[in-house]
Amino acid sequence: MNQPAVNSVPASFSDTSRALIDEDIRQQVSFSSAEAAGYSEPLLVMSEQRLRNNVRRFMQAMPRVRPHYAVKANSNPAILEIFRQEGTCFEIASSAELDALLALGVPAEEVFYSNPIKSPTAVKYAAAKGVRWYSVDSTEELEKIAAIAPQAKLYIRIEVSNEGSSWPLAGKFGASRAGIAAIIATALQYQLNLCGVTFHVGSQCTNINNWLEGIRSAKTIFEQMIAKGFTPELLNLGGGYPVQLTPADPTIEDIAAAINDELESLPESIQVMAEPGRYFVGSAGCLVSQVVGVATRDQSRWLYLDTGFYGGLMELEQGFALTLVSQRTGAAELWSLAGPTCDSIDVLGKHYLPATMQAEDLVFIPNMGAYSASCACDFNGFPVPKMLLVS
Ligand SMILES: *Cc1c(COP(=O)(O)O)cnc(C)c1O
């Protein structure tokens, strides 16, 4: 196995921090290459030890913050079971995610419904199963819940800056200042149990200030809630904790130090939780794919893999600083990467790989444990990655 030859890390970073990232990539390629012998289809190789380490590291860094794993990042039942054993709770967006947790014996009280817009059927189902906590960001959703589950505990999803995150969400969800006032007024009118605040800084967020800004806004909103007779109980810091893809990305300890500081002035009566998705699973998974063919078109070289936008590599198209590793050595070249389907969206940006790449070469893509297999479909007849859990 050659070293991950070229990646997107600028030369200005210190050799030590580069070496740490390179070592991490080397380890991921090493545990997945053992599984790739006799390759016949795309694989997502997940390391159980890394899954457990990620949870433990998160909990150790933020002792006051109870993690609720965001199931959508990777909903494989074996992974959910590992997190259950590690003592995490969960965050869901759908009835199917709830069913997956109930099947493992997770108590419904440990499952929080953080999708701000839920179908009436989904609310009815969750309430019947015993889910108590729901997120809201509009008066319409409050009215829906008032009619179906008036005893529910509600937390307002507020808007917060998504600057510096790779997948911003601002705009789609989150109540504005005026929206928050309207939600408080509506909760009062229907006598609903409004008792928490949440926000989501956007996924793979490397801007620590977004969490601090969210916590400060929450403190102000708690004051507003108290003034109207509500009793705040919950601060939910949402997701967004990044996988360290370059030495410039903050570690979970960097983020925790700032968050812990900001939490010091929060009353003890308020329980604090977070919803890590990517951080728990991202660095635990390496995707293994095979080259279908190469093509030279004028000056540009194209490399087609057997999995692509539809098959688990959606995030490559977003220009993530991911490193692709091949077993070949030699000078690298900037390839235009594409998936196997005939759709024009199935193009995955430009990436360095050896110039001599050929059909049937394997390509290893570390840090793909989140939002890869869980987002894949078999469009055009190409199989989704098969997940393998290794110790
Ligand atoms: C997706 C999602 C998360 C997880 O986000 P990550 O970036 O994977 O940590 C957490 N909370 C909510 C409400 C989400 O929609």
pLDDT in tens, 301-342: 999 999 999 999 988 877 778 899 999 989 999 999 999 999
Task: Give 200 Cα–ligand 1 centroid separation in angstroms.
Answer: 7
Q: Is 74 a pocket residue for ligand 1 (Cβ < 6 Å)? A: no
Q: Is 33 a pocket residue for ligand 1 (Cβ < 6 Å)? A: no
Q: Is 174 a pocket residue for ligand 1 (Cβ < 6 Å)? A: no
Q: Tell me the whole-structure pTM to 2 decimals.
A: 0.94
Q: Is 239 a pocket residue for ligand 1 (Cβ < 6 Å)? A: yes
pLDDT exceeds cutoff 80 at 370: yes
Q: Following CA atoms 326, 332, 338, 339 in sequence, which dihedral angle do they give, to the nearest 10 degrees?
A: -10
Task: Give 201 Cα–ligand 1 centroid separation in angstroms.
Answer: 9
Task: Give 280 Cα–ligand 1 centroid separation in angstroms.
Answer: 11
- Residue 112 banded pLDDT, cuts 50, 70, 90: very high
Span of 37-46, 59-68, 124-133, 307-316 with lowest mean pLDDT = 307-316
Read off the pLDDT of residues 140-160 as tens digits, 9 standing for 90 and up. Answer: 999 999 999 999 999 999 999
Predicted confidence at residue 355, as pLDDT, reads 95
Q: Is 202 a pocket residue for ligand 1 (Cβ < 6 Å)? A: no
